[in-house]
Structure 1
């Protein structure tokens, strides 16, 4: 689509009715601050990943609830080898298969994924890491946690696969709000579930993606546990807030109004009248008063706000009078341009908006490598690792 750029600073009336908002770069700062202040976890450590040798580790992993493959991409960049992935959505599965043809991919309900049979089919390799982001929001109140509740089933299936595969480390990601749901009962249930299958001393931290070079504000709650009594390593932040990469660093070289479908540089079509309306939206403002999180203009000179799909109502470009494209979203998530998304433009945006930034996953991978190496060299610990009874969990 061709179009004429309309400056949202050129007419006084464009922004006279809407007060420009200040960027909110710390949505989950309170949760993170409280977690850090009250945390006395001796197993949680932060390491400088710059000291980790940047060589292929060949440690193996499985990515459950993998989506399009943001985590897979990041771990591959860190030198890990993807053994298997599981995703129920056929479009996201097609994207994963396209970009990781060497990975054994299961498209379907995780409940139908027979992990033991799968291991036998690929000659029983040892799995060093299982990682994924299962939904955890369905736990009932007052401490009652029904394992048969369909909202809980996916989380317990994740735990079930871990209990069967018994990787050295397990990493689970989710939104930071998971830590405060039902006054912390959901967090407690997650910890108890992993403890019951032999992964005690589970740690949790909130990592801000922008602190690791992602040009986007996207905090994630990261749970890490292992079955050897080892530390649970997290990557130290690499950037201070004032050093976060601005949105322009990722998208300024893409054509403003020329589509490039081959790399998903496509966006929702706008009429000239619609573009004139967009021109009046200031940074931080929305085109609509009811759906304020959709058609919201990005701040120039700042990291991107958390990107979402919103049924085509993505954020507005910081300078241009159109929404950002699927490729711009992908760059803000740190997907390389060689990573191509299957499906329609909206399906591509949906996949991108649901992904974990590859760069964040890469940094988590680098933090794990020294400890995976320690386990690999310590065969005594590997042989004597305990296999506790699993009476506390029932998988139906």
Structure 2
């Protein structure tokens, strides 16, 4: 039975027994985004066209905190940045990061114990141009229980502490859009004030839809950007309109239907013949279970993937096949290259992938930063060449 495909698209009269497909719901955070844009008077937030970004004037470096398996690291690397260091508390995610970024100094430890000054001293005190990271978002996400007292919600203060010690030119912090509305915006304001207190005023925030940048998945993210020079906070302009979003098939159609390839993480939860027959009755947007409607939910054909995540092995059901999608299919939907291998069991691989930032989204954010990093670099160079030069608006410390 393992090699037999029970097609979701049956022949003859069998289709009458299958319930009507649900209409895709692709705008989960549209209300938050509309409110953000409606009340936004931030003069420092700008959106730039990344289709014609200038070349980097220097080899810009970055540090990735809460790096997980390395979604942001992979994206910034693709944009031409050099990953200098990374930090992650999960041993399995750290193992994945080390495997895929052997040139990066990596620490597997709690950020509360991380002494950035000592660490940078050990690696030669390099200049850090950007600090990126995504503090754990479980306490912020609208998908689950939003407990304002969840200790994970305070980990962004540790992120801010490290930024205050490293003093990068720019800082980029990623989280779920729900962080902007929790406690009626109190958490958002606390983040803004924390960055202001360490010399990063005028912090900007925008919700970026991953699908608008070529990711074949609906995955909006809240992106905070700040700098310490009074410069603009650049975001990449959307590259695709909703009607142009890449469908799920564009990423996974060439992977084997029922042949596993463990070497590239193309593995999925094993199903009995009876279970596969039950899956065959699930329509697009429908779930195998009435109570746990977000698990074992069939993807919509011809549409971008729903936000991928690991759900105790119960990832989304393939849009055509009668099995859940594989770890590699999840990775493809996140835009990880096939050469990016995840350590650990299939379930652990799915967990790492589901928690990652799509590399393509991170890449676009990196491209948006380059013109402004170039401005800082050139002004810094001019100041070094002409010590009496007084015309610059930048302040360096």
Q: Provide TM-score, normalisation by structure 1.
A: 0.92
Aligned CA distance change for structure 1 residues 240 and 375 (closer, same or farther; 3 Å): same
Are the equivalent residues in 1 in contact too, given 2:18–2:283 (CA < 8 A)? no
Measured after TM superposition, the shift of residue 14 of structure 1 is 6.0
Q: Map residues 79-118 of structure 1 onto 2, 5 A cutoff.
A: 79-118=80-119
Distance 2:264 2:133 in 1: 26
> Which residues of structure 2 form unaligned runs of 5+?
141-148, 384-391
Counterparts of 2:337 and 2:125, CA distance in 1: 32
Match of 1:186 in 2: 187
For this pair of structures, how many residues does the alignment match? Answer: 379
Q: CA deviation at 1:8?
A: 2.2
Moved more, 117-126 or 334-343: 117-126
> Are the aligned partners of 1:57 and 1:369 in contact in 2 as well (CA < 8 Å)?
no
Query: 1:376 and 1:64 mapped to 2: Cα distance?
Result: 24
Q: Is residue 7–residue 279 contact of structure 1 (8 Å, CA) maintained in 2?
A: yes
Query: What is the match of residue 8 of structure 1?
Result: 8
Task: Find the counterpart in structure 1 of residue 308 from structure 2.
Answer: 307
After superposition, the C-alpha distances for 1:161-183 in whole angstroms (9 at most, x for unaligned) are 00000000000010001101011
In structure 2, the CA distance between the partners of 1:137 and 1:270, relative to structure 1 (3 Å rule), is: closer
1:56·1:78 contact (CA, 8 Å) conserved in 2? no
**Secondary structure in 2 aligned to 1:318?**
coil
Query: In structure 2, what is the equivalent of residue 385 of structure 1?
Result: 396
1:363 has 2:364 as partner: yes
Q: Distance in 1 between matches of 2:378 and 2:243?
A: 40
Cα 1:374–1:56 change in 2 (3 A) is closer
CA distance, structure 1, for counterparts of residue 225 and residue 50 of structure 2? 16
Q: 2:138 and 2:200 mapped to 1: Cα distance? A: 21
1:15·1:280 contact (CA, 8 Å) conserved in 2?
A: no
Deviation of 1:374 after TM superposition, in Å, equals 0.4
> Could you say what secondary structure the match of 1:207 adopts?
strand
Asked if 1 retains the 8 angstrom alpha-carbon contact of 2:42 and 2:204, the reply is yes
**Deviation of the 1:124 alpha carbon:** 0.6
Are residue 246 (structure 1) and residue 257 (structure 2) matched? no
Hey, what does 1:120 align to over in structure 2? 121
CA apart distance, 1:37: 1.3
Residue 17 (structure 1) shift: 6.2
Give the CA deviation at 1:342: 0.1
After the TM superposition, list the runs of 4 or more consecutive aligned residues in structure 1 that deviate by more than 6 angstroms: 136-139
- Per-residue CA shift, 1:33-62, capped at 9, x if unaligned? 111111011000000001113669520000
Q: Check whether the contact 2:58–2:377 (CA below 8 A) recurs between aligned residues.
A: no
Report the equivalent of 1:176: 177
Query: Aligned pair 1:134/2:116, yes or no?
Result: no
Alignment of 1:342-353 (within 5 A): 342-353=343-354
Secondary structure of the residue aligned to 1:378 is: helix
Q: Compared with structure 1, are the counterparts of its residues 57 and 215 closer, same or farther at alpha carbon in structure 2 (3 Å cutoff)? A: farther
Residue 224 of structure 2 aligns with which residue?
Answer: 223
What does residue 197 of structure 1 align with?
198
Aligned residue for 2:143?
A: none
Task: Tell me if structure 1 keeps the 8 A contact 2:56–2:371.
Answer: no
What whole-Å deviation, never above 9, does each CA across 1:275-308 have from its counterpart, x for those lacking one? 1110000000000001110100000000000001
Q: Quick check: 1:65–1:133 contact (8 Å CA) kept in 2?
A: yes
Distance in 1 between the 2:57 and 2:199 partners?
A: 29
Task: Tell me, yes or no, if the aligned pair for 1:130 and 1:167 is still in contact at 8 Å.
Answer: yes
Q: 1:80 to 1:57 in 2, by over 3 A?
A: farther
Residues 338-369 of structure 1 deviation map (CA, whole Å, 9 limit, x = unaligned): 00000000000000000000000000000000
Name the structure 2 match of 1:72.
73
1:7 Cα shift? Answer: 2.1
Residue 10 (structure 1) shift: 1.7
